[in-house]
Amino acid sequence: MSAWRQAGLNYINYSNIAANILRRSLKPQLKTEAMRRDESHVRITPWANGKPAHEKD
């Protein structure tokens, strides 16, 4: 059994922890670029009757 599985983690959690540790250990000039790659943007579109339903603001 792998170490991350014995620690009670799934692979996604394990890889996220490892990536964060790696980003924090980089030199300052490389760290800022790596931290930008860490950001993610998610857009959620609700669907109704098989078509995207646009919510009115």
Residues 6 or more apart in contact with residue 14 via CB below 8 angstroms: 4, 7
- How many other CB atoms are there within 10 angstroms of residue 14's CB atom? 15
Q: Look up the CATH number of domain 3-52.
A: 1.10.1620.20
* CA 4 – CA 12 distance, rounded (Å): 10
pTM of the model: 0.53
pLDDT at 54: 75
6-40 per-position pLDDT tens digit: 888 899 899 888 988 988 899 988 888 887 777 77
